[in-house]
Amino acid sequence: MKTTTTSGDAQSRLRRVEGRHNALVKELRRAFARGELTEDGCFAIEGLRILEEAIRSGLKFRAVFFSNAAGTKAERLLPQIGAHVETLSLPDKLFATAVPSETPQGVAALVRFKELTLEDVLAKSAAGPLLAIAGVQDPGNLGTILRSAEAFSAGGVLLGEGTVSPFNPKVVRGSAGSVFRLPFARTNLAKAVESLRERGLRLVATSSHKGTPLPEANLSGPLAIFIGSEGAGLPRDLMSEIDEVVAIPHSPQVESLNAGVAASIVLYEAARQKT
């Protein structure tokens, strides 16, 4: 039998918090500001759609926060959140000080997350190509890459040094929830090359100008696709390990494609060749 939650039920479950010095509110604010995991392994998310994606992805919540104006959203979400999860109601102004958005939706949360190791990701990556991200610093680009990686069935993602944190609020928002489900690990890519080769992966990098034109490239078989930073591209030590450089044809009037677009195009082509 399906249980329905009325407005009164939802309000009775919410603990009203008025002060900005509440420990959970302070932790939410810090987690958003740092864009990293907290000491007890949580990160901050915001927005109705992102919270619904977290629920759909099976993430566990430490605490969920609603602004006073978000009563209907509380009614919608509370039946999907475990009864043991602490749920708080904040005055609208207090909520706005804790989240980064200029126009808050009135819903935020601290979610628990266990990071994977390189070995964990490699063990899960047999189904599709692996992405290796070298120094992509723009959170919108990384969010796009993670979203495309899931959309085109990548096996997992390795995030190298200098790459923006996957827990940055803009990365989470840009990934549209893919960051919750896609296997990823933060690692030293130069040291990871040996492990990739031991598993029989061919190493491919993208280039704006030189290399095998993408329509002619062979992207079938076990593959690791390296994506360099927006400005400098791949570091020399990694480029020296690459088996093939793939160029995405585009107008010569455009100097280069950004990392998110380039990764998405190559992932699409790899998926197309596989099918």
Instruction: Provide the pLDDT for residue 1.
Output: 33
- Report the distance separating Cα 232 and Cα 255, nearest Å: 13
pLDDT tens, N- to C-terminus, the chain (275 residues): 333 444 555 566 899 998 888 999 999 999 999 999 999 999 999 999 999 999 999 999 999 999 999 999 999 999 999 888 999 999 999 999 999 998 999 999 999 999 999 999 999 877 789 999 999 999 999 999 999 999 999 999 999 999 999 999 999 999 999 999 999 999 999 999 999 999 999 999 988 778 999 999 999 889 999 999 877 788 899 999 999 999 988 888 887 788 999 999 999 999 999 87
Spell out the residues 6+ positions from residue 194 whose beta carbon is closer than 8 angstroms to its own: none
Instruction: Provide the pLDDT for residue 4.
Output: 41
**Architecture field, domain 118-274:** 3-Layer(aba) Sandwich (3.40)
Residue 223 and residue 132 in contact, taking contact as beta carbons nearer than 8 Å: no
pTM: 0.91
Instruction: Provide the pLDDT for residue 275.
Output: 78
Q: Has domain 7-112 been given CATH number 3.30.360.10?
A: no
Alpha helices in the chain (DSSP H): 7-13, 23-34, 48-56, 71-77, 92-98, 118-124, 139-151, 169-175, 178-181, 189-198, 236-239, 259-274
So where are the chain's domains? 7-112, 118-274
